[in-house]
Each structure stands twice: as C-alpha cells, then as structure tokens.
C-alpha cells in the first residue's frame, strides 16, 4: 500500500537536548562514552521548581521549550493541544534509588519530592501541565521504537481530530552501570511540535518538513522468510510522492539482534548506519537529523528491537506553500516559563 498523504501535518518546531549537541546536527555526532557535566537545569529551565525532577524529565522539558520557541508557541486553546512521549529508561535512576532505600532503610525514607515519578506516565504529564496541553497525554514505552511511536500516535490523533496541535518526542537517561546495556546508554531528549497544515497556513507559520511513521511486530522466533516479508510490507507502505528509498537516503538504527539482521537484509547495503542505543531516543534523533541533512529530498529512518518491534519514519521536505526563505531548525538554551 502506497500513496497516503503525509503533508496534512507539519513539523513546525524541533528541540534537541543531548551531550552530542543542541540541534539536529547532534544526529551526526558520536555518542560520548562519558557525557560529563553537560546539562544545567538552572540554565535550561530556571532556578525554582525543577531541582528534584528526574534527569529525563528535565531533559524533556528543556527540549520542549526549544521546540516551542522555534515554532512560536501553541496558538490554539489548551483543549486542542495534545502530548505524546516515548521512553525506555526515563525513571532508571529513581527506580534504582528507591529500591536501595526500601531495602536499606524502609519505604518511610522515600522522598516525597521524587517518589511520584515512580510512575513513568508522570514524565509526559509534567510537560503537559507545564505547557497546558489538555487535549490528551500519552506515554509509550515500547523498546527501541517508543519515540517513533509517540510521533506516529500524535500524527494519527491530529489527523483524526483528537487534537490540532501536538508536542511529541522521546527522552532517556543513563542506565545504572550494573544494568545490561549500560555501555549503550542514551542521554537527552528530542521534542517536536506537530501542527495541522491548514491551521499552520492560516496563522502564517512555517513548516520544517513532514513525518510519517509506520510500525509492526515481527515475532522474534519468526522464520527468516516471514520476517523479511513483514518488514518488506512495512517499507512498502510509503507516503505519496515517495516511489522508493533513494540510494543513501535511509538510516538504519540497528543492534546485533536476529531481527536487526533481517531488517538489514531487506534494506540492502546502501544505507547509513547509526548504532542503536539502549533506549528509544536514537531513532527519533536520526529522523530529525535526516530532516536537517535532506531538507529538499525524502529520506527514512528504520529501526528494530530484539523484542520484535520494527518502525520506519519517512521524512519529507516541507510543502512549498508552507516554507519560508529562512527556516529555523531549533531554538537554543532558554529559561522560558510555561507557554500559555
């Protein structure tokens, strides 16, 4: 199946907060083995109200501020604004600390300032409350593809009228050194503002491009032929105007799993490679990077997890009627308060 319209919703703001850089170019920078002291919530968010937030919540709020600044802020009532965030390890440090506190001293010693974030849903909820996003608020945790699924869910919701404006993204924090995959920890956040193109045109806004995400499940024990067939059908579900991936236009975010091998065989040798991290941030960061690298040509990012999740994000240039001569790609550090 091909030919669906991916231009009904536009990306109008991008926020990137990572130790690799603070804009879309971070996608092409290497992942540091030790990020160091790269983030100061007092500079990014302000001195009051953020100190006790888990790192992933701070990262995502900062990325959201940057995306909102680039997009010009939400121009619609709060009930028309939605939110979706994907993560795999946002509460990692908190969960570890809580476990150690309960085992060592008892539950009565848990901090009331941080304990509520035991619920992973509160990472997106805090961002939604900060920016009055009252339409709906979703948190997705599917391994590796949660960030792309947040965009997929957001795009579907906007097209179906559940919201007219949406903030979607992914956030991750470092794994405990004792955890499997700690050497591939991801740190940082990416946030995107998604808007209906008809409303964007009416307000005279500027589109940075368009995204379309498709995902599927391939059983980890599936026969190789079946796995490749499912992946092939997923890649055939392309937006209108994309006849097929151009040579070098696809970025593969893969690990060494059996499913990743099947994806690689379907894609062929002519792809860019970005090493998969332990979470769901890298595929979304690479999608933003593709939008930056190929502002006038389509591209795609494909990823998969050992658990059977596969996703492709098609990245399309902005429609000509929604572009401006001097398009912004991100906003720098800001201590802006909540958007009204």
Domains of the chain, with CATH numbers? Answer: 2-202 (3.40.47.10), 211-322 (3.40.47.10)
Cβ neighbours, 10 Å, residue 259: 22
Residue 115, token pair as written in the block: 């304990």
Show pLDDT as tens, one digit a residue, over the chain (340 residues): 457 899 999 999 999 999 999 999 999 999 888 888 899 999 999 988 898 888 999 999 999 999 999 999 777 899 999 999 999 999 888 888 888 889 999 888 888 878 887 788 887 888 888 999 999 999 999 999 999 999 999 999 999 999 999 999 999 999 988 888 888 999 999 999 999 999 999 999 999 999 999 999 999 999 999 999 999 999 999 999 888 788 889 999 999 999 999 999 999 999 999 999 999 999 999 999 999 999 999 999 999 999 999 999 999 999 988 886 444 444 554 433 334 3
Terminal-to-terminal C-alpha distance of the chain? 41
Residue 236, token pair as written in the block: 């055939």
Whether 74 contacts 264, CB under 8 Å:
no
Residue 193, token pair as written in the block: 């503002």
Give the CA angle between residues 105, 108, 112 to the nearest 5°: 120
Whether 307 contacts 146, CB under 8 Å:
no
Q: What is the pLDDT of residue 337?
A: 39
Whether 24 contacts 16, CB under 8 Å:
yes
Closest CA to 284 of 274, 271, 294: 274
Q: What is the pLDDT of residue 244?
A: 79
Residue 278, token pair as written in the block: 């332990």
Burial 296-322 (b: 16+ CB within 10 A, else e): eebbbbbbbbeebbbbbbbbbbbeeeb
Q: Count of residues for the chain?
A: 340
Q: Is this model's pTM higher than 0.85 or not? A: yes
* Cα–Cα distance for residue pair 264/70, rounded to 1 Å: 35
* Cα–Cα distance for residue pair 287/296, rounded to 1 Å: 14
Give the CA angle between residues 329, 333, 337 to the nearest 5°: 105
Q: What is the pLDDT of residue 73?
A: 78
Residue 97, token pair as written in the block: 């600390």
Cβ neighbours, 10 Å, residue 65: 27
Q: How far is CA 323 from CA 12, 209, 319, in A?
A: 10, 9, 7
Q: What is the pLDDT of residue 87?
A: 96
Q: What is the pLDDT of residue 329?
A: 46
Listing DSSP states for 146-196 in one string gives HHHHHHHHHHHHHHTTS-SEEEEEEEE-PPPTTSTTGGG---EEEEEEEEE
Please name the residues in contact with 213: beta carbons below 8 A apart, sequence gap of 6 or more. 148, 149, 151, 152, 155, 311, 312, 313, 314
Coil, strand, or helix at residue 200? Answer: helix
Q: What is the pLDDT of residue 327?
A: 45
Give the CA angle between residues 100, 171, 284 to the nearest 5°: 145
């Amino acid at each position: 199946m091909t030919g669906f319209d991916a231009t009904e919703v536009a990306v109008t703001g991008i926020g990137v907060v990572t130790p690799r850089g603070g804009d879309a170019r971070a996608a092409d920078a290497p992942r540091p083995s030790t990020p160091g002291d790269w983030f100061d919530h007092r500079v990014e968010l302000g001195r009051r109200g953020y100190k006790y937030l888990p790192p992933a919540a701070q990262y995502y709020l900062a990325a959201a501020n940057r995306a909102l600044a680039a997009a010009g802020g939400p121009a619609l009532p709060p009930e028309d604004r939605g939110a979706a965030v994907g993560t795999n390890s946002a509460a990692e440090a908190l969960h570890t600390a809580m476990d150690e506190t309960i085992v060592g001293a008892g539950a009565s010693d848990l901090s009331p300032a941080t304990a509520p974030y035991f619920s992973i849903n509160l990472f997106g909820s805090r961002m939604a409350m900060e920016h009055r996003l009252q339409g709906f608020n979703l948190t997705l945790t599917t391994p590796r593809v949660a960030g792309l699924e947040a965009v997929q869910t957001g795009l579907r919701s906007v097209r179906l009228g559940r919201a007219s404006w949406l903030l979607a993204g992914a956030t991750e924090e470092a794994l405990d050194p004792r955890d499997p995959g700690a050497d591939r920890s991801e740190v940082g956040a990416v946030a995107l503002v998604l808007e209906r193109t008809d409303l964007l045109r009416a307000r005279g806004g500027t589109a940075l491009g368009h995204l379309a995400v498709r995902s599927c499940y391939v059983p980890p024990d599936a026969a190789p032929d079946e796995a490749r067939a499912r992946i092939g059908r997923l890649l055939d579900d392309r937006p209108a105007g994309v006849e097929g991936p151009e040579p070098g236009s696809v970025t593969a975010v893969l690990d060494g799993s059996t499913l990743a091998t099947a994806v690689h065989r379907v894609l062929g040798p002519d792809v860019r490679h970005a090493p998969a991290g332990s979470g769901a941030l890298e595929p979304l960061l690479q999608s933003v990077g593709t939008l930056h690298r190929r502002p006038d040509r389509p591209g795609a990012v494909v990823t998969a997890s050992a658990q059977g999740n596969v996703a492709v994000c098609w990245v399309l240039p902005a429609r000509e009627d929604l572009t401006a001569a001097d398009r912004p790609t991100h906003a720098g550090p800001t201590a802006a308060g909540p958007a009204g």
